[in-house]
Structure formats: structure tokens, C-alpha cells
Structure 1
């Protein structure tokens, strides 16, 4: 794992945490050791964590897993859908909470 990878993950997860706390205070959000845990009002969870060996951020939730690679522009992009991590997570939160959640990189 490179220091730049670790710093990029921490910056991304910290930014997501701050946006979620501001837009969806009903979500219990914690960031500990590069693991962002989100507990939704329906008691479901979304977990994001870094995978050092492959330099990805992985998202786990009941909708299924997603893996995000950092592209040349510094955005985290899902390897299957092509969506950025903020767009992907925002869509899931919007579906679960029934309210707009617009996350940005």
C-alpha cells in the first residue's frame, strides 16, 4: 500500500462522512481506521473500507458489493457500473431514506 493510496482513501471517506452527517443526520456514521460504517434507520448497514492489496475501496450492503478503483483524475469509480463512489452511495442512500442525498467527490 502506498501512502498516496492511504491518504486518498482517508480523504474520500472523510468527505463522504461529513456530507452524510450534514444531509442525512438520521444515519449513524462512524469512520474508524479507514472503515466507514453507516447504520440506517431501518437497521441496515453500509460498510466502506479500503482493500490495500488491490488499492480499491469496497462497499458492502444488502444490495450487493461494489469495488471502486481510483482513476487518473482521482475519482473512485465502480468497476462494473462506471459510477463514481459518491454517486453510487448517494443513490443507495436516497432509495433507502426516501429523500435526496447528493454526495460529491
Structure 2
């Protein structure tokens, strides 16, 4: 994957998350700045998503852990477990919001 493809994939993912966060009734605030999406929850915790251009990875920081994802066969997969980004992201957001969060 070249840098242009990487940026396109990351931008598509972050834009999709932003659009869907706007539709959620949960007590969530978010901000996109310099390619970093920060989601703030009512309990003071955060979820942070950013791009790591040198290694072409999507990184996710949650209250419990940090994750690195590679783009494989059309999906962002954790480089340690192979879990899908959206599964980990939704579980973390649901836990931190105290209610179900489902981003597609």
C-alpha cells in the first residue's frame, strides 16, 4: 500500500466514525484535530484514534489498552490478535459510555 492509499483508507474510516457519532444519543463528545480523533466520555475517559504513517497502521488507545491495526483484506485487523478494529472500538466505547455503542 502506498501513502495515498493509506491516507484514503484512514480518512474513510475516521469520517465514517464521525458521521455515526453524530447520530448517537449517548453522552459523548468528540474532536478531530490534525488527523487524530479524540472521543470523550461522561466518566472522563477517552478513546483516541490516530494514523501512524511510517508503518501504515491505525492506532487505537482506550482506557484499558493500546492497539495497532494493519489493513488486511479490506479490514483493519489488530497486529497481535487479528481482531477487527470496529469490534474492539465498539466494545471499548460501549464500556466507557456505559451503554451500547455500535459503529459500522
TM above 0.5 = yes
CA deviation after TM superposition for structure 1 residue 43, in Å: 1.0
Question: Partners of 1:23 and 1:60 in 2: how far apart?
Answer: 21
Question: Partners of 1:24 and 1:51 in 2: how far apart?
Answer: 30
Once the two structures are superposed, residues 11-36 of structure 1 have per-residue CA deviations (whole angstroms, 9 ceiling, x without a partner) of 10111122122124411111222211
Alignment-derived partner of residue 82 in structure 1? 82
Q: Is the 8 A contact 2:59 2:68 kept in 1?
A: yes
TM-score w.r.t. structure 2 length?
A: 0.89
CA deviation after TM superposition for structure 1 residue 100, in Å: 1.4
Question: Partners of 1:43 and 1:20 in 2: how far apart?
Answer: 17
Are 1:69 and 2:70 an aligned pair? yes
Unaligned runs of 5+ residues in structure 1 are none
CA deviation after TM superposition for structure 1 residue 99, in Å: 1.6
Number of residue pairs matched by the alignment: 103
Question: Partners of 1:5 and 1:31 in 2: how far apart?
Answer: 18
| RMSD between aligned residues | 1.5
Unaligned runs of 5+ residues in structure 2 are none
Q: Is the 8 A contact 1:46 1:59 kept in 2?
A: yes
TM-score w.r.t. structure 1 length?
A: 0.88
